[in-house]
Copies of this chain bind each other. A is one copy, B any other.
């Protein structure tokens, strides 16, 4: 399917939420989960993943929570999606580690390259600031 996964949707919602915080504030997983109607323990996992990719930073312990890892203008849509779904490849055969039996005679890869390029360049051009604005 040509669709974002629920996890990715949740990640984007959470990032929107965190981006809307005042400087110095943090949001807990619980807060975000309640606010956006996301299962808490699933969201927790997603926030951990975003932390590992340094899109957000976490403060552990009581009164802990999450805040943006850098300015919203410096977080691209591509980074947000790839943090959850991994590298974006319109077709599997473009993934590096994938060896395809059709490799020598396949024309599909090349045919779809423009789409791949178009899409990724767009995703790199949109930032969290843009996404949070709407």
Contact = CB atoms under 8 A, between A and B. Distances in A.
A113 to B, nearest CB: 8
A115 B111 contact: no
B81 A2 contact: yes
A89 interface: yes
A126 B114 contact: yes
Chain A's interface size range is 35 or more
Identical chains bound together, number: 2
A75 interface: no
B122 A126 contact: no
Main SS at interface, chain A = helix
Given A9-B108, A12-B111, A4 B90 contact: yes
A128 to B, nearest CB: 10
Interface string A2-42: 11111001001100100000000000000000001100000
Nearest to A102: B37
Interface of A: 1-6, 9, 12-13, 16, 36-37, 77, 81, 85, 88-92, 101-102, 106-108, 110-115, 118-119, 122-123, 126, 130-134
Given A2-B90, A111-B132, 13 more contacts: A1-B85, A2-B85, A3-B91, A4-B90, A4-B91, A9-B91, A12-B108, A13-B106, A37-B102, A77-B115, A111-B133, A115-B122, A119-B122
